[in-house]
Structure 1
Amino acid sequence: MFILDITYTAPTERMDELLPDHVAWLEKGRDAGRFVAWGRKVPRTGGMVFAVGVRVEIEAEAQRDPFVANGAASVTVIEFDAKFAAEGLEALRR
């Protein structure tokens, strides 16, 4: 499993402009079976995406995030080897 740690580098107004494209990117990743969870950081300084797949493909997908591709955010891809997942969260162990 991978965690895409997204950090905003642009003002909130710019993030709001890119948000519809970012959400479409998230939904496309979900529909492809790559993204299993996502959400904003609190306070709103970025977000996190939980992804499954092959590292090189996940890294490439992270660069396609409209926030990142438009220079409004940076992303760090963190590999996470989940040894336990509660019932209903089994996808996190892929």
Structure 2
Amino acid sequence: MFILSLTYLKSNDEADRYMEPHMAWVKEGYAKGWFLASGRKIPRTGGVILAIGDRAAIEAYVAADPFTIHGVAAYDITELAVTTTAEGLEILKH
């Protein structure tokens, strides 16, 4: 599993300019079966996405995020070897 932590490099106003294409990119990540959960950080300094899949594919996909392309946010990708989950969350062990 991967934790994709986005940190805004530009203002929230600038992030809002690219939010619609970013959210289309997020929805496509869900459609590919890679994204499991996502949301904004509080306070609003970026966001977090929980993902599964191949690291190289995830890294390439992150590079295609409109936030990345336009320098709005930087990603930190942390790989996590999940060994124990609550019932029903076994998909996190991929």
Provide the TM-score with structure 1 as the length reference.
Answer: 0.94
1:56-94 C-alpha deviation (Å, 9 max, x unpaired)? 111111111111111111001110111112123222111
Which amino acid is 2:10 matched to?
A
Unaligned runs of 5+ in 1: none
Match of 2:57 in 1: 57
Q: How many residues align?
A: 94
Alpha-carbon distance in 1 for matches of 2:5, 2:14: 19
Which amino acid is 1:8 matched to?
Y
Q: What does 1:4-83 correspond to in 2, within 5 Å?
A: 4-83=4-83
Seq. identity, %: 43
1:9-43 C-alpha deviation (Å, 9 max, x unpaired)? 00110111111111110110101101111111110
Alpha-carbon distance in 2 for matches of 1:89, 1:67: 29
Unaligned runs of 5+ in 2: none
Could you say what secondary structure the match of 1:84 adopts?
coil
Which amino acid is 1:70 matched to?
H
Q: Determine whether 1:2 maps to 2:13.
A: no
Structure 1 runs (4+) greater than 4 angstroms displaced: none
Say what the alpha-carbon RMSD is for the aligned residues.
0.9
